[in-house]
Each structure stands twice: as C-alpha cells, then as structure tokens.
Amino acid sequence: MKQMNSIFVSIYWLATLALLAIGVVMVFAYTPTEVTMGPVQKIFYLHLPIAICTFFSCLTVFVASVGYLWQRKAMWDHLAHAAAQVAVIYAAIVLLTGMIWGRAAWGAWWQWTPRLTFSLVLWLLYVVYLVIRPSIESSQRRAMICAVYGVVAFLDVPLVYLSVRLMPDIHPSSIELEPAMKSTLIFWFIPVIMVTVGLIAASFKLAKRQAACNITRELPLPKSKTARPLRPTITSGNRGVV
Amino acid sequence: MNSLNYAIGAYVVGLGLIIGYAAWLWLASIAVTRRENRQNGQERR
C-alpha cells in the first residue's frame, strides 16, 4: 500500500513537472507577443494562476481554522499550517513577479496602490501566522490561537480581490487576450493547481508525521524486566563492598 | 534591460521559489524519517 502510494506521488510530480515545462514552452514559443506591453506581458501567464491559487490557499487556511474551532481536532491545525506555508510562498511569487512586471511596464518596482498594498498586507499576515507558531509551546493553545488568527487573516483576501474594482488603481482589472493567449492562460492553471494541491498535501503529511514524532518522544520508554543496572547500587549496608 | 529578460527573470524567480520550497519539504521529510527510525530503534531495544 505504501509502495503504491509513493509510486502515485512520483507519477503525480513527474506529470506536474512535464506540464510546467510544456507551459513554459507555450509561453515563450507559441503565444504571440502582446502589442502594447511587449514580451514582459508573458509574466501574466504565471502571475494570474499563482494569484488565484494564493486565494485558494488562504481559503484553505480559513476553512481549516474554522474546522479546528468547531471540532478541536489536530488534523485541522496541520492542514491550516500546511496551507499557510503555501500561501506565503505563493503571495511572495505574486509580489515579486508583479514587481518585475511593474518595473518594465511602469518604470517603478513598487507603487503604494490599493491592490499592491493589500497584497503586501496579505503576505505579511500569513508570514506572521508562521512566525507565531513556534513561539507557543502548548500544541492545543497554539492551534487555538492560530485558528482564530487564520479566520481573521482571511478578511484581507476579498480586499485584495475587490480593491482594483472599487478604488482607482494602476493595476489592470481586466486584460483583452487573443485566442492563443487565452488557451495558454487556461493551460497554466492546470500545473499551478496541481502544484498547489501537491504542496499542501505534502506539507500536511509532513506536519502530521512531525507531530506524531513529538508525541512519541514525550512518552516514557517501557522498562525491560530483565534489565540490570551496569554497576551495583551502593547502600549504607554494603558500603565498601564491591 | 530587455523586456524579454524581465519575463524570463520572473519565471526563474517564480518557479525557483516553488522548486525551492518543494526541495525544503523533501529534506524535512527525510529528517522526520530518520527521527522515526531512531525512535523505532529505541522502542525495539
């Protein structure tokens, strides 16, 4: 059963890598260059799917946090922790690829517009989620505090999504795409979603195994009945006698 | 800097972070496996 599982995981990751490679080839060899923005527009095919999957990861943290507050089961805390790690990585990718695009398109690495500011706040919120975890020793207390925090932190996600529609922003709210560009963008969602699910699953499995190891370490080891001390204990009656 | 270089740089950064995190998870998994084997070895004794 374990062997079948590891074969499935290997095939899953090989397929994901293959799809990512095909996606990169599609972006640079198949998709036409956008007329207004030029080749830098090709960042869009990575930037948008990663941004959507960031929201998905944050939603997973929110659902898992609610699950823990409702059922008080450790597996919800492990899932929230796993999804938060992926959310931090993905939000960092969104910010960095956006900054690179902004540098080329607007001439500036960063502008304090609503969308960009709320995105930075989103990244910081989940970084704090990961930072506070090791500082709380009790696993139950840690899970409770992080669950409450995970629910509150999710409030920034709709702000990020709606900000560009409700407030004036330099960040584009929609882009016109040719058919080849649309197909490339839709294709990129497949490997990015596979990577997201795979990373959350792997991180969740790791968190469960780490928690199990810590519990095992706390349990006293059973004493063998035949075990004898290496040296005879010295009592007041036999002092000096070996 | 060429506009295409910005695009290539963004993909290198983005995919590099994903691969880096996946590698970190894999190494952490190996460390946990070693810890589990050590603990199983202690219990068997």
> CA A109 → CA A84, A189, A221, B8, distances in Å?
26, 26, 57, 16
- Which of B14, B29, B39 is nearest residue A93 as measured by Cβ atoms? B14
Using CA atoms, how far apart are residues A139 and A74, in angstroms rounded to an integer?
9
Task: Please report where in the chains the tokens 């207390």 appear, as a residue.
Answer: A141
Residue A217 pLDDT class (50, 70, 90 cuts): very low
pLDDT of residue A130: 96
How far apart are the CA of B44 and the nearest CA of chain A, in angstroms? 10
Higher pLDDT, B45 or A149: A149
**Mean model confidence pLDDT for chain A:** 87
Give the mean model confidence (pLDDT) for residues A160-179.
76
A224, pLDDT greater than 60: no
Using CA atoms, how far apart are residues B36 and A212, in angstroms rounded to an integer?
9
Helix/strand/coil (H/E/C) assignment for every residue in chain A: CHHHHHHHHHHHHHHHHHHHHHHHHHHHHHCCCECCCEHHHHHHHHHHHHHHHHHHHHHHHHHHHHHHHHHCCHHHHHHHHHHHHHHHHHHHHHHHHHHHHHHHHHCCCCCCCHHHHHHHHHHHHHHHHHHHHHHCCCHHHHHHHHHHHHHHHCCHHHHHHHHHHHCCCCCCCCCCCCHHHHHHHHHHHHHHHHHHHHHHHHHHHHHHHHHHHHHHHHCCCCCCCCCCCCCCCCCCCCCCCC
How far apart are the CA of B1 and the nearest CA of chain A, in angstroms? 9
Residue A173 pLDDT class (50, 70, 90 cuts): low
Cβ contact B22:A35 at 8 Å: no
Residues on chain A touching B29 (C-beta within 8 angstroms): 202, 205-206, 209
Q: Does ipTM surpass 0.90 in this model?
A: no
- Residue A75 CB-half CA count within 13 A: 3
Task: Please report where in the chains the tokens 């972070």 appear, as a residue.
Answer: B17
Which range among A12-26, A34-48, A90-104, A143-157 shows the weakest confidence by mean pLDDT? Answer: A34-48
A233, pLDDT greater than 90: no
Output the CA torsion sign for A47, A51, A53, A57: positive
Higher pLDDT, A187 or A223: A187
Burial class (CB in 10 A: 0-12, 13-18, 19+), A87: buried
Q: What is the pLDDT of residues A111-143, one digit of tens each?
A: 898 899 999 999 999 999 999 999 998 999 999
B25, pLDDT greater than 90: yes
Residues on chain A touching B4 (C-beta within 8 angstroms): 39-40, 42
Tokens for A42, please give them: 């090709």
Query: Please, where are the H alpha helices in chain B?
Result: 3-44
Distance of CA A135 to the CA centre of its chain: 20
pLDDT of residue A59: 97
A65, pLDDT greater than 90: yes
Chosen from A10, A181, A205, A216 to mutate, greatest number of chain B CBs within 10 A: A216
How far apart are the CA of A228 and the nearest CA of chain B, in angstroms? 14
A242, pLDDT greater than 70: no
**CB-based contact A43 B6, cutoff 8 Å:** yes
Higher pLDDT, A148 or A162: A148
**CB-based contact A101 B6, cutoff 8 Å:** yes
Nearest CA to A197 out of A72, A19, A3, A70 is that of A19
A62, pLDDT greater than 60: yes
In total, the C-beta contacts within 8 angstroms joining chain A to chain B are 87
**CB-based contact B21 A100, cutoff 8 Å:** no
pLDDT of residue A177: 80
